[in-house]
Structure 1
Amino acid sequence: MVIQNKKIAIVGGGPGGLTLARLLQLKNAEVKVYERDENKDVRVQGATLDLHEESGLEALRRAGLMDEFKANFRPNAGKLKVLDKNLNIYLDEHSSGDSHSEDRPEIDRTPLRKILLESLQPETVVWDSQFVSMEKQNEGWLLHFKNGNSYYADLVIAADGANSKIRSYLTDIKPIYSGITMVEGNIYHAQSNTPKLWELVNVGKIFTLDEEKSLLFSTKEDGTLTFYTGCKTDENWVQNSGIDFKNKNQVFDWFKKEFGSWDKNWQELFESDEISIIPRPQYHYPLDQNWETLSNLTLLGDAAHRMPPYAGEGVNMAMQDAFELAESLTRSECKDVKSAILNYEQKMLKRASEITKITLENTEMLHSENAIEVLLRMFQGE
């Protein structure tokens, strides 16, 4: 095994990084995960996750965690409604009994993280470790963190997300703006704070598509309603809009203008103060991105191939990266670490290019003039 007696640092404790740590520990590798969260109990934001058979679920199978997954997944969370701005329903999988996502079971981020964390050896995750910089030392890297601590690793794996600070040590390829900016909101205790919309979403998902905009909903088991607006904007709209996104009332004023012709029921999103809001301009990397492989550094997940969420591939790509990288690093066919990383990166970049292309097509489709019509045809296999 080419990583025998080597210290491995995974920077980022999301699903991809934790999955990789689990798979490497099953092969007795020496691995640490450096995570910026203060501890394991920090609230995990974002929508529920749908895991795909060939990627996310395959990673859990290889990690020996399917029983834990089956005990925590949410059977009806993937059931979808498709609506227009006036609340007209074009698809309702709750009443039809069908589901386009039956082979993509849903799980909340928090229980998935708990499953992965509890599968690791004690002290694997080094909490409160926000990456600042690193420098070459011996054959590897000396990593520096905001808390003042520094650690050496022979191999660094960047799993630090879409705004990765480590990526620049490997490549200077910049992301490309997709033309869409999302505003994410999380409404806590939504059943009491947004009762009409909570009932409408029915513990599942909603795609509302109209006027070349999107308004997407999902629920979490803890009673949180997560929503995402999607609008065509300039790349610097967040900075130039003058909106303080920590101020709910300013965001609400924007929403009432941007979605002014939409049914007033959508405005229930902003009636409660139990809400967190964050703008998210959507970027992707070039379909033909490539870089020179190093022997002591590689990327996985959004750090390698960030893309908009409109194909539901983000976490699945990261978890597939994890099992493919673990396989390359631990199989006997590779003569050294660089060869193992090259084998992984070649397959990962090809797969990322294909999925990014599909994602960009979906992004354009969901924000097109005939979005609902095209989406329904897609569900019908046309």
Structure 2
Amino acid sequence: MSSEKIIVLIKIIGNSLLQSSNFKILNPDDYLSDIRKELENGNIINDMLLFSKEVKNEFGEIKREDEENFYLKDIIKVEDDDQNILYLKRLYWKYLSNQCKLDYGRIMSFDGIKIAEKQAYTMNECELNEINSHKGGRLEFESKEDWMKKTNLFVNVDGINITNFAKLGLSIEGLRNKSFSKEIMTAYQYTEIGKVSLKFSKSNLKNLKLTDEFKNDLIDAIQSNDPKKFEKITREYGQFIPTEVILGGRVYFNDIKKSLDNSEATFNGASGSISVGSLNTSIKYNSSDSEKTSKFYSFNRMGLLGGKHSGDEKFDEKAWIESLKDYQNWDCIEFKNPISIFQLLSDDLPDNLQDL
């Protein structure tokens, strides 16, 4: 490996616009993965910036996973005046929108949030903000609606809209009369890494363009005044769209003590058994309740949203956090400020349909 370093002009570009530039002395024979570490120490690069190479006035990005396969000299552009240029391209919100299918509505369900089958709109503009938060907490539930809300990624938000969507999710799946005793009694410890937020103004819905199919189905439902057609729309296009989405990673762990205490109180002195996390422990119970349990309730010891985990029984938090430096490993970890899918055409809807 050459020890001769060169002066490099680092240009940071956004959506086709130059945003800033810096000079740095670097080794052209270093791998990009090592260059990234060096630039991180100098606060020049972060998780939102990708190495980029200019070819015929177009910029191509180097994926994080490929940085260890490219040398710095492979992507540097040498100008006529012998100036060495390194381009860093800022992650565009559109990449994240496509990755997480944010152009699709969402549906609250017994087994967690679901992405609608059909695309309702395309997003023309979105506000992207870096968060880089690290927090932990405890997840408990007070009611069916509270359980439905929190397991569908509305953890730290309240309001009549959220409650209505939770009730709608329960009704659609025929769960209004279902016993949620098992789910409500459980508790989880969690760690959350928030990387970015994506949001658009609720008052500026012109940033969303309806797909022709969705618009035609909506107009047809309005003109027919057939409730079944509106129900079909929510099944196919979703119940709501979140106007703010937090991307990153979250890991849940069963709160063993809470589960043991509550399970013993409810199932004391009965026959049968349920497993508790990864412990070699079972709780005896006798129940004629043959109801199914949700995927969220049923995960064994640990549940994961975003990031990479080796699959070993022992969770490596450091490696998981490191994996979240790659935007391709981010997932939706929280939704905020949802609006009904029907509000996308609110001006065309009768008053009695505004709250659907």
Q: What TM-score, normalized by structure 2, do the two folds share?
A: 0.22
Query: Which one has a bigger Cα radius of gyration?
Result: 2
